[in-house]
Structure 1
Amino acid sequence: MADAHSSLILAKFNLPVTASVEFHMEAFVNKLILIVFFFISSSVLANTVNVHEELTATLENIRIQNNIPSMSVAVITSGELTYIKGFGFIDAEVNKPTDSESLFRTASISKLFTAQAIMQLVEKNKIKLNEKIGHYIPRFQDTNITVKELLTHSSGISDSIKPIHFDKQRTINSYLNSVTKVLPKNTENKTFEYSDTNFNILGAIISAVSHLSYEEYIDKNILKPAKMKKSGFFNSDNSHFSDTKPTFNGKIIPKVDQRPYDFAFNPSEGLISNAQDLSNWLRLTLVSDPSLLKELTYKDMLEPEVKTSWGEIYMGLGWQVYKSSKDKIARHPGSIRGYKSLVITYPDRKDALIILTNSSNTPRWEIAKSITKILKQNAEW
């Protein structure tokens, strides 16, 4: 027979009193576990909903205050996408709202894809970081600039060549010919100078060693493995064209003043993408997924190589890296006329955020700080 104490417990939870106390006590424990799990799950869900509501309200308020017509934000926590949302409208005239698949010009975030492609080819022994670039592109045989110096913006090459409209049909070869005329004469004492030209040359190296166009290589080896289904590079028709128009203070920038699409600049600023696609790629990058790179290669890319002119920020291989408190941070902002974007990652925690906007006056760092503050206050990060 069950003892009196056990009988009272079983009766309280509507369990029958029999000789098998052990059996029913096990049933009681299992039921109690389910009850506790339910309350914990409900609490976690409620907290997640509250955090998302706070993020949405804060971000929408910042968007309105700064006259940003269209914005898309994604948050990755411990390697998983935990928040993604579009704000505003990609076309206010027809009230078409921004969503997670709305396409933006990502600007210099493109450089991260070029850097990743270079490192894929390094893994395949088709490129050596310390090799002179003339080894891959003969027209540069008279310079001692290396691949690594291009990746770290320490080649000494300035951005004297600007993009021109694709209608003028400048070829990659004619662009590279122009670059040879502005190569630094003193190549011994190179210092940091951020330059699109460095990455446009890297794009040409990728094409030379892979026997594919730069765009074909990136699509085959990064976009497709990362399931970036809507992303790509402008090709003069309506495919891979930004859904959002460039603006400043809420007004569309006149076409004559917009940053032109130039195929030669695809490796430095040409990627058209959205928050969903970038999240797919960034998750794989954070968890060192072998479909893109080996784990050791990911780590090598984040090692500080060259001190920048931006305080305590260093250039890794494509990434800008620094430390804040105890966190290692790897980032890359993007900015061209009418668009501002930002990718910030915390590699050790596998946390990250993505910000895409179609406004030159976007306070990216304020947005990033606001997101981080909310997540930390709610123990999400």
Structure 2
Amino acid sequence: MHKLFLIVIFSISFNAFANTVNVQEELTATLENIRIKNDIPAMSVTIITSGELSYIRGFGFIDDEDKKPTNSETLFRTASISKLFTAQAVMQLVEKNILKLNEKIGHYIPRFQDSNITIKDLLTHSSGISDSIKPVNFDKQRTINSYLDSVIQSLSKNTENKIFEYSDTNFNILGAIIGAVSDLSYEEYVYKNILTPANMNKSGFFNSDTYYFPDTKPTYKGKIIAKIDQRPYDLSFNPSEGLISSVQDLSHWLKLTLAGDSSILKKQTYKHMLEPQVKTSWGEIHMGLGWQVYKSSNEKIARHPGSIRGYKTLILAFPDSKNALILLTNSSNTPRWEIAQSITNILKQSAEW
């Protein structure tokens, strides 16, 4: 009887292991086919299942000679995924009663004293501010203050209407506010209060002290984008697009976020950030506080895509089941939603998710 019990347990364990191996092989084959089909030089993917890392892999190469393979620690520009870190930094300061969501931003930055825009308006892209101010090369030495002056000059009457308009400027202003109230630069604050607790040891920002660059070069249809056409590194834009990271580091942070870990925020704050606040112009998607949220088959989904010239990225999370995926690529023509759908289909068909 004891032998029979062991055989049954072994059989179940082996079948579960075999199923996992088959799923991983199918994921790898599917993702590699998509990468090749779309001329994506470098791509990294992480999958989290029930709050734990279940798949992590790099695809392609980070050099022109195809000799340096992409891996889980390969650094990419994460683009607008950076906004999630800015949002968490803001909410940390809200928890400490240093910031208030419904306070007008002029209370923290006097330049905006005549504006009715609140912290919450910026977090939900409902300030009415458009992206008329673009990043400039670092060698032009534009300061945060001169950037804010340009923003003030560009403000239109739309800011009184509080309409939804996705805009990097919202989060760049939030970054300036974080710096103003914390007595640290935006980069220092995020490094100390989010990257370090999350064990994101290889992640960082390009700034005046650190010329921090990704391992991957920006491309379009397999060709490296000419330097003159690449997205500039601008300190003012670090809060909206500046984080340089890997799927390995991001997975540490996302696991903590899904778990509601107190090393970054209180559990209730994580939940609050996922509550729908403002209807977007993207179908049934709403803005939470930083996150874009919606439901599919009564399942809550939180996401944030990122896109700058030569890089496309995505975080897609299912907060209730603590499942998630992270995608980083160095190609403007990456079919992010096809990749996310392929991963989701494979995992759901195998009952992994």
> Which residue of the partner structure matches residue 15 of structure 1?
none
Q: Select the residue among 31, 45, 52 that pairs with 2:24.
A: 52
- Asked if the contact 1:231/1:240 (under 8 Å) is kept, the reply is no
> Which residue of the partner structure matches residue 94 of structure 2?
122
> Which residue of the partner structure matches residue 255 of structure 1?
227
Task: State how 1:68-87 maps to structure 2 within 5 Å.
Answer: 68-87=40-59
Q: How many residues align?
A: 353
Structure 2: give runs of 5+ residues left out of the alignment.
none
> Which residue of the partner structure matches residue 347 of structure 2?
375
Taking the aligned partners of 2:6 and 2:140, their CA distance within structure 1 comes to 68
> Which residue of the partner structure matches residue 365 of structure 1?
337
Residue 93 of structure 1 deviates from its aligned partner by 1.5
Taking the aligned partners of 2:141 and 2:263, their CA distance within structure 1 comes to 35
Residue 215 of structure 1 deviates from its aligned partner by 0.2
Q: Select the residue among 78, 86, 92 that pairs with 1:106.
A: 78
Q: Select the residue among 274, 290, 299 that pairs with 2:246.
A: 274
Residue 44 of structure 1 deviates from its aligned partner by 1.1
- Asked if the contact 1:155/1:191 (under 8 Å) is kept, the reply is yes
> Which residue of the partner structure matches residue 214 of structure 1?
186
Same amino acid, percent of matched pairs: 78
> Which residue of the partner structure matches residue 301 of structure 2?
329
Higher alpha-carbon Rg: 1
> Which residue of the partner structure matches residue 40 of structure 1?
12
> Which residue of the partner structure matches residue 167 of structure 1?
139
Structure 1 segments (4+ residues) deviating >6 Å: none
Structure 1: give runs of 5+ residues left out of the alignment.
1-27
Distance 1:275 1:174, change over 3 A: same
Q: What SS does the aligned partner of 2:154 have?
A: coil
Distance 1:237 1:94, change over 3 A: farther
Q: TM-score, normalised by structure 1?
A: 0.91
> Which residue of the partner structure matches residue 354 of structure 1?
326
Q: What SS does the aligned partner of 1:178 have?
A: helix
String of CA shifts for 1:266-321, please: whole Å, max 9, x gaps: 00000000000000000000010010111110110001110001111000000000
- Asked if the contact 1:163/1:260 (under 8 Å) is kept, the reply is yes
Cα-Cα RMSD: 1.2
Q: Select the residue among 39, 51, 59 that pairs with 1:67.
A: 39
Taking the aligned partners of 2:258 and 2:161, their CA distance within structure 1 comes to 35
* Structure 1 position 179 matched with structure 2 position 151: yes
Taking the aligned partners of 1:125 and 1:70, their CA distance within structure 2 comes to 42
Taking the aligned partners of 1:232 and 1:245, their CA distance within structure 2 comes to 17
Taking the aligned partners of 1:70 and 1:145, their CA distance within structure 2 comes to 40
Q: 1:150 corresponds to which letter in structure 2? A: L
Q: Select the residue among 241, 264, 268 that pairs with 1:292.
A: 264
Q: TM-score, normalised by structure 2?
A: 0.98
Taking the aligned partners of 1:256 and 1:186, their CA distance within structure 2 comes to 33
Q: What SS does the aligned partner of 2:233 have?
A: coil
> Which residue of the partner structure matches residue 25 of structure 1?
none
Q: 1:267 corresponds to which letter in structure 2? A: P
Q: Select the residue among 239, 246, 251 that pairs with 2:218.
A: 246
- Asked if the contact 1:74/1:355 (under 8 Å) is kept, the reply is yes
* Structure 1 position 341 matched with structure 2 position 318: no
Taking the aligned partners of 1:346 and 1:186, their CA distance within structure 2 comes to 34
Taking the aligned partners of 2:199 and 2:183, their CA distance within structure 1 comes to 23
- Asked if the contact 1:230/1:240 (under 8 Å) is kept, the reply is no
Residue 33 of structure 1 deviates from its aligned partner by 3.4
Taking the aligned partners of 2:151 and 2:251, their CA distance within structure 1 comes to 34
Taking the aligned partners of 2:290 and 2:235, their CA distance within structure 1 comes to 20
Q: Which moved more, 1:41-50 or 1:151-160?
A: 41-50
Residue 34 of structure 1 deviates from its aligned partner by 3.0
String of CA shifts for 1:75-122, please: whole Å, max 9, x gaps: 000000100000000113151000000000000000000000000110
Residue 238 of structure 1 deviates from its aligned partner by 7.4
Q: 1:135 corresponds to which letter in structure 2? A: H
Q: What SS does the aligned partner of 2:65 have?
A: helix
- Asked if the contact 2:129/2:158 (under 8 Å) is kept, the reply is no
Q: What SS does the aligned partner of 1:93 have?
A: coil
Residue 187 of structure 1 deviates from its aligned partner by 3.9
- Asked if the contact 2:126/2:162 (under 8 Å) is kept, the reply is yes
